[in-house]
Structure 1
Amino acid sequence: MKNNKTNILGFNFLNTTFKDFLNNIKDRINNKENTFVVTANPEIITYALDHPEYSKKVKAANYLVPDGIGILKGAKILGDNMPERITGYDVLLDLLAWGNKNNKSAYFLGAKPEVIKDLEKILMDKYSNLEIKGLQDGYFKNDEIIAKDIINKKPDMVFVALGFPKQEDFIFKYKNKLNSLWIGLGGSFDVLSGHTDRAPQFWIKHNIEWLYRLIKQPSRFKRMLALPKFIYLVKKQNKKSTHE
């Protein structure tokens, strides 16, 4: 995989195809290389800009990938096209299928107890050859106990769906204690378990998945304001670079 990067607001995004990225990740899992992946959208980046400690953690990732059409739009403003989004949910589905086929193991951390319960059924049904090292909801009080369980069980892949910034905080704190894949997945468990609907293919294909989610959850409106702020800052970055 060509390790091409696109710098957006000081964050180096991997600029490659979904397929090349996944092939590289699978090689790293097979080689037991410690790997930290952040799947970021404009909301995560604008939050990071306002929170320096979180920003450091995002920048410490081995791979920062574009999980949002806004990131692709930002790259285009800067004159650097990205081929496609690399969404956390699609990464999860691909790795589950690959892990099932190749007898890999995984640990699942995050979401509500009822989501984890239904997720277990889906995993047992669809991915019966995948070794489930642990299923833990996100409502825990002591992260050290959870981390110890993960480290002792040595899964090939650690899927953390605590939402940002909590998932990156957790991964950053413990990732160096185990050479596995560590990736934050936001609300992916909710979708896979059937508790939340993903946008139909038409909306995904036309890059308006965000609009579908907004229609379904109007309460997301405030969060959506991160996009215009992000685009404004990218245009400002572009203007500055063209004048230098």
Structure 2
Amino acid sequence: MEKISLNGVEMYPFASEDELLEFVKEKKGILVAINAEKILHATDQTRTIINRNIGYCDGAGAMFALHKKGYPKACKIPGCELWLKIVAKWHKTHTFYLVGGQKSVIEATVVKLREEFPGINIIGYRDGYINSSDDKESLISDIAMKKPDVVFVAMGSPKQELLMEEIQQRHNAIFQGLGGSFDVYTGRVERATQWWIDHNLEFAYRLIKQPSRIKRQIHLLKYLWWLETNKL
């Protein structure tokens, strides 16, 4: 499958979650969620990080751009849902390691996963507050020793991707960056209801709930202009 470039940001036009899962099963690597903001605000550093890994369409803006590029079957695969699909598919056969969030959040995440997915083998976890090189080396060494099949890192971009790349140098696995997904999963942050998600209006729901986001989302008008004028 070929990558498609949008403002120099390369991603795969997966037509379904199953297609993505089959791809990453055969080709382990780092899954990086791509949305309109990441495409619009791409820098040389973020493009390089994304392009050497497995970029996938996380938002409606990226999906519509792929459609205009001639990939009408490309679909939106929200990262906050994808990681749970990975767990559901492989929790009986794969081992997992989780990094990110506050101590209370990661602990609550592990408890909930063990309740919802009986038999899941979580062989390690820790919070996302890695404050020294010793902390980081301890984490990477632990992962390299335990050799999990799947590693989830929830620390925000590009920090989580840079950490996953360091881990990958010592241990190859399926990696996914999750941003704030542990907070959503444990109910500390409310996600949009299904109607908003189904109508590709999750960004509007977030804006209603948090009006201060207007400073970020106003830039989406530029993205819409690029989309309509084929500048992507």
Same fold (TM over 0.5): yes
SS in 2 for 1:54: helix
CA distance in 2, matches of 1:239, 1:34: 32
Name the residue aligned to 1:7: 5
Show CA shifts across 1:132-189 (max 9, x none): 1222111121322222222221110010110111111111222121120111111111
Name the residue aligned to 1:138: 128
Q: 2:171 aligns with which of 154, 171, 178?
A: 178
CA distance in 2, matches of 1:198, 1:178: 33
Name the residue aligned to 2:42: 48
Name the residue aligned to 2:65: 74
Alignment check: 8 A CA contact 1:4 1:16 kept? no
Number of residue pairs matched? 228
Name the residue aligned to 2:85: 94
Corresponding letter in the other structure for 2:140? A
CA distance in 2, matches of 1:225, 1:133: 42
- Is 1:225–2:218 an aligned residue pair? yes
Corresponding letter in the other structure for 2:101? A
CA distance in 1, matches of 2:73, 2:101: 31
Name the residue aligned to 1:21: 20
Name the residue aligned to 1:206: 199
Name the residue aligned to 1:111: 101
CA distance in 1, matches of 2:185, 2:124: 17
How much is the aligned-residue C-alpha RMSD, in angstroms? 2.1
Corresponding letter in the other structure for 1:121? V
Show CA shifts across 1:60-99 (max 9, x none): 10x2101011112223444543431012112111111112
Show CA shifts across 1:184-243 (max 9, x none): 11111111111112211111111111111222222322222342233344556x359xxx
Q: Aligned runs of 1:128-167 on 2, under 5 Å?
A: 128-142=118-132, 143-167=136-160
- Residue 4 (structure 1) shift: 4.1
SS in 1 for 2:169: helix
CA distance in 2, matches of 1:77, 1:227: 17
- Is 1:189–2:179 an aligned residue pair? no
CA distance in 2, matches of 1:239, 1:118: 44
Q: Bigger relative contact order, structure 1 or 2, given CA contacts below 8 A and separation 6+?
A: 1
User: Identity of aligned pairs, percent?
Assistant: 33
Show CA shifts across 1:109-153 (max 9, x none): 111222112112201211231111222111121322222222221
Distance 1:239 1:155, change over 3 A: closer
Distance 1:74 1:99, change over 3 A: same
Please state which structure has a larger fraction of its residues in helix.
1
Distance 1:54 1:172, change over 3 A: farther
SS in 2 for 1:151: helix
SS in 2 for 1:177: coil
Alignment check: 8 A CA contact 1:67 1:88 kept? yes
Name the residue aligned to 2:113: 123
- Is 1:39–2:33 an aligned residue pair? yes
Q: Where does structure 2 lack aligned partners over 5 or more consecutive residues?
A: none
Alignment check: 8 A CA contact 1:11 1:59 kept? yes
CA distance in 2, matches of 1:56, 1:172: 12
CA distance in 2, matches of 1:72, 1:190: 25
